[in-house]
Structure 1
Amino acid sequence: MASALSRHPMVAGVVGTVVAVLMASLSIATLYQGRQGVLDHAHETSANLVAIISSDLARNVEIYNLSLNAMVEGAQNPAMTALSPALRGQILFDRAISAAYITGAYVLDAHGRVTAASKDVPLLAASFADREYFYAQQRSPSTGLFFSHPFASRLRGTPTIGMSRRVNAPDGSFAGIALLAMNVAYFNSLLDKLNVGAEGSIFIVYQDGTMIARKPFHEDLVGRNVAISPTFSRMVNATSGSYAAISPVDHVRRLYTFSHVPGTPFIAVVAPAEGDVLRQWRERSRVVGALTLLSGMSFVAVSWLLALSLRERARAQEELVRLAGTDALTGLPNRRAFDERMDDEWRRGRRAGTPLSVLFIDVDYFKAYNDTYGHALGDDALATVAHSIATTVRRPGDVPARYGGEEFVVLLPDTPLEGARHIAEAIRQGVQACTIPHRASALGTVTISIGCATASPPGLGGAYGLLAAADQQLYKAKAAGRDCVRPLAHAAAPVVSG
């Protein structure tokens, strides 16, 4: 991994960024799962509260229904008419009517007039045939237990719900009703015991959409029909369930959980506000999100700092390698770099079957130049010669190098003898054109001699055989009077002398 990062340092930054993104994604996914868990827990809690409300309502309604059945049986018994009103009241009305929110118990005849009432309720001469609880029983013998919509009691003026059952004559005809009057405050007291948050809502509603009680209390909502509300429409066709919606009353998004109360026309609904439910989760999420963002950004920053550091280190290493293979005076590759390239090009030429040429260059009378002008000017002269060689050898694959002292070499891959001789001649003329004064030379200026050799690998016994052949040609050029080129073509081993 360290080797791979040293070759591709930017990978460290990319990998660090990817890891940070994955960590952030994992944190976000975890937070989302936590959010869903909070919502699920809220639904479970709401379902438990709904169950408590439904259980309380169903239990009390069952008790009240038993009382109504007893009142109906007593009213339908012919022997009851012979009893005194006090005794008849004791038989008709049991202890159920003493419940805190039962405001009265009555038996009404076929014309809606009260014929019997619980002991603490006065008999009224008025007819109640116009009440919903009366005519619903009058119109249908199969109505059973009936719950009226809230109405204002004529006796007490309080919002009341009437629970009634039909009383039949011996021939099955309508003979009146048994009635229990329930104060709507019972429903409010039931809801007041429960808490669903600052913006939560609990309410009990009829299946036709008529509101009975709500917490928080809104006086204008009691008795109001909310059947057209989009939050109510989902409750009609299902026995129970839960969903999230925005309340049309106060425009708060709530989590609605509902259930139809068995044996009644009521629906109990618990709706905590989503904001209340998620408040603590959001506070934790802000902290976790901020820490995740900070740690992620820090990780990315460290990763890219590491990547940049590795890149600078790689550049420094490349520079060191380049400097290790570069001659400090001339800026050309040194002998070590030349040897490495020559081995590579020899193997490449052997695979491809292409010729390889080498130029061996020596500055004429350079010792005399140093003796005459000094080593400082000698170094300048060598730098000028190197520059001339480098500007003449322009192909990307060609390698000019300083071989040592006043000697230079040029490696020419995929170059036949004629091309190598042409380049060598151009180099010689380029140095000559520099007109570097040299009074110790018979020619008057600095000149070079070049030996040139070409072979197709594995000719000449190897790369160094080719270099030795070029060196031999250099000596021939010097023997011929210097300032000239001596080429040699050879395709077979061993090295051929002079």
Structure 2
Amino acid sequence: MATSLSRYPLLAGLAGTAVAVLMASLSIATLYQGREEALSHARETSENLVSIIGGDIARNVEIYDLSLRAIVDGARDPSVMALAPDLRRRILFDRATTAAYIGGGYVIDANGRVIVKGNNAAAPPETFAEREYFRAHQHNPSVGLFFSHPYLTYAHGMAIGMSRRIDMSDGSFGGIALLTVNVAYFRSLVNKVDVGPQGSIFIVQNDGAMVVRKPFVDDDINRNVAGSATFGRMTSASSGSYVAKSPVDGVVRIYTFARVTGTPFIVGVAPAQDDVLATWRARSTVVGVLTLLFGLSFIALSWLLALSLRERARAQEELVRLAGTDALTGLPNRRAFDERMDEEWRRARRSNAAVSVLFIDVDYFKAYNDNYGHALGDDALAAVAECIALAVRRPGDIPARYGGEEFVVLLPDTRMDGALHIAETIRAGIKTRSIAHRGSLIGRLTVSIGCASAAPPGLGGAYGLLSAADQQLYEAKAAGRDCVRPMALQDIEVTQS
């Protein structure tokens, strides 16, 4: 008995030591996992920022390129070039060439002299013959859309030239069409992003020419970083993420980059690793001290772990919820919509029920932003989302923001007549709001809606149904906007038979 009792303290000590070691091991593992989660979250955030900035650049480049193509077509038309100067200028240069960050638009002949310039264009130099973009088109007929390196303009500071070749009727070089994009545009994109006290964000061309960098240094513009070890990794992939020490200031950063499709630009976001881990390190210090001081208190540690896990679960649930919600409108976002659409299509296949989709687009929304600014544009999108949510009342119906000014509504177990009723309710509700819109022929903010309805396996699947609704949206816009266009009756009967 005495021998047995003498063993209890030892056993208790061993058990306590084992528990303390186990708790310490779990704490260390948890802290390491938190570090990895902090780094992973930083990469995901950087990927989102790169995607947003790259998307903005790609959209604007597409708009500017359409303007360049129109200028080229007009410059090749003798009847256009024979018009009076003011009329010719209005025909050649559309509204995109007067956007806030367009420094000027020019038609330049084969000798490098300006023969037509846009309304807001600065006085041109005597000749453009020695400019990078002019020589590129002059010596290479197949260069297509060309982007120059940043250069100093006469009136708008640093700019990048976007240009296309103008061919004569016999295929010979006839000059170029040129738009100058102010570097201030790229600077405005990076200035909106906070990457921490030591973080960096940059836009660079694929040959290493720096366009803009934050923190901003004047010498960074057009500085070539092709020889940098960090840039070398960006040339071998279309996108990626890696950790490296900056050759400029020696700061270890998490670099996330992606090429902008159709352009020579690479967008990079690089928060400093110390900034990313600052909160984690502070928390780790506290937990480490507490673990050291109270490591033998199993109950306290157990409750601490339980509370930590509960808070972590709540945070994860909140992240999942936010990942599926559009921050501006409060509606589900495209990702959440795609998941629900797949689920409802499978459910409809099992029950042989019809599914309808509404594809909604705000009419002349670019003109709305141009007239009233993006802040009021966001308010208008929120008002449209509210009208859609009020019209879609069934718990199973799914309204969502699809992207930009586009919305979608998924209507399970709904045929075309029900979908049309909801579509007209949405259209009328938005029009009744009487939101002023100077850029619209109607004078008010309106929407166009395409409707499609099918029962599985009609239209080839869920995304075939969505594509059909999108096509009907184009029909609605072609019909003058502010209207609803459903699928043809015979198409509905085929898909639901």
Asked if 1:251 corresponds to 2:217, the answer is no
Q: Within 5 Å, give how 1:90-489 maps onto structure 2.
A: 90-121=90-121, 124=124, 126-153=126-153, 155-156=154-155, 158-296=157-295
Give the equivalent residue in structure 1 for 2:19: 19
SS of the residue corresponding to residue 70 of structure 2 reads helix
1:13 deviates by 3.6
**Displacement, 1:237?**
1.0
2:50 and 2:120 mapped to 1: Cα distance?
Answer: 35
Pairwise CA distance, 1:120: 3.2
TM-score (norm 2): 0.58
Distance in 1, Cα, partners of 2:268 & 2:4: 64
Name the CA shift for 1:236/1:17 in 2 (closer, same or farther; >3 Å).
Answer: same
Q: Which residue of 1 aligns with 2:71?
A: 71
1:3 positional shift: 6.8
Partner of 2:398: none
Count of matched residue positions in the alignment of Structure 1 and Structure 2: 298
- Any stretches of 5+ residues in structure 2 without a counterpart? 299-497
Cα shift readout 1:321-341 (whole Å, capped 9, x = no counterpart): xxxxxxxxxxxxxxxxxxxxx
When residues 125 and 236 of structure 1 are mapped into structure 2, their CA distance, relative to the original with a 3 A threshold, is closer
Secondary structure of 2:241's match?
A: strand
- Give the equivalent residue in structure 2 for 1:486: none
Alignment partner of 2:295: what SS?
A: helix
Amino acid at match of 2:102: I
Q: Which residue of 2 aligns with 1:324?
A: none
Is 1:34 aligned to residue 34 of structure 2? Answer: yes
Q: Say if 1:45 and 1:282 are closer, same or farther in 2 by CA, change over 3 A.
A: same
- Cα offset, 1:127, TM superposition: 1.2
TM-score for the superposition, normalised by structure 1? 0.57
Question: For residues 90 and 64 of structure 2, what CA distance do their matches in structure 1 show?
Answer: 16
Letter paired with 1:150? P
Larger Rg: 1
8 A contact 1:71–1:93 mirrored in 2: yes
More deviation, 63-72/74-83 = 74-83
Partner amino acid for 1:259? Answer: A
The answer as to whether partners of 1:5 and 1:11 remain within 8 angstroms in 2 is no
Q: CA deviation at 1:255?
A: 1.0
Amino acid at match of 2:187: N
CA distance in structure 2 between the aligned counterparts of 1:122 and 1:20, rounded to whole angstroms: 75
Task: Please list the CA deviations of residues 76-105 of structure 1 after superposition, one character each: whole Å capped at 9, or x if unmatched.
Answer: 112123211111111110011111111100
Q: Partners of 2:200 and 2:257 in 1: how far apart? A: 12
Using CA pairs under 8 Å that are at least 6 residues apart, name the structure with larger relative contact order, 1 or 2. Answer: 1
Structure 1 residues 283-319: Cα deviation after superposition (integer angstroms, max 9, x where no partner): 11111111111122678xxxxxxxxxxxxxxxxxxxx
Residue identity in the other structure for 1:102 = I
Task: Tell me the equivalent position of 2:473.
Answer: none
User: SS where residue 180 of structure 1 aligns?
Assistant: strand
Are residues 99 and 252 of structure 1, via their aligned partners in 2, closer, same or farther at CA, if it must alter by over 3 Å? same
CA RMSD in angstroms comes to 2.0
* Shift, 1:119, TM fit: 2.1
Confirm or deny that 1:80 pairs with 2:80. Answer: yes
2:156–2:182 contact (8 Å) kept in structure 1: no
Could you report, residue by residue, the CA deviation over 1:351-370 in whole angstroms, capped at 9, with x for unpaired residues?
xxxxxxxxxxxxxxxxxxxx
Distance (whole Å) between structure 1 residues aligned to residue 37 and residue 7 of structure 2:
47
Task: Identify unmatched segments of 5+ residues in structure 1.
Answer: 300-498
For the 8 Å contact 2:74–2:81, the answer to whether it is kept is no
Residue of structure 2 equivalent to 1:438:
none
Question: What CA distance in whole angstroms lies between the structure 1 residues aligned with 2:283 and 2:236?
Answer: 38
Pairwise CA distance, 1:241: 1.0
Supply the AA of the counterpart residue of 2:117: A
- Measured after TM superposition, the shift of residue 238 of structure 1 is 0.8
Distance 1:230 1:33, change over 3 A: same
**Alpha-carbon offset, residue 129 of structure 1:** 1.0
Alpha-carbon spacing, 1:237–1:8, altered in 2? closer, same or farther (3 Å): same
Query: Structure 1 CA distance, aligned partners of 2:245 and 2:19?
Result: 39
Instruction: Provide the rounded CA distance (Å) in 1 between the counterparts of 2:26 and 2:182.
Output: 55
Tell me the distance in 2 between the aligned counterparts of 1:37 and 1:68.
46
Change (3 A) 1:178 1:23: same
The 2-side partners of 1:263 and 1:4 are apart by 81
Q: Determine the C-alpha separation between the residues in 1 that align with 2:26 and 2:16.
A: 15
The AA in structure 1 aligned to 2:183 is V
% identical aligned pairs: 62
Aligned mates of 1:33, 1:2 — CA distance in 2: 47
Conserved in 1, the CA contact under 8 Å of 2:19 and 2:296?
Answer: no
Cα contact 1:5–1:12 (8 A) shared by 2: no
Counting only pairs closer than 5 Å after superposition, residues 32-71 of structure 1 correspond to structure 2 as: 32-71=32-71
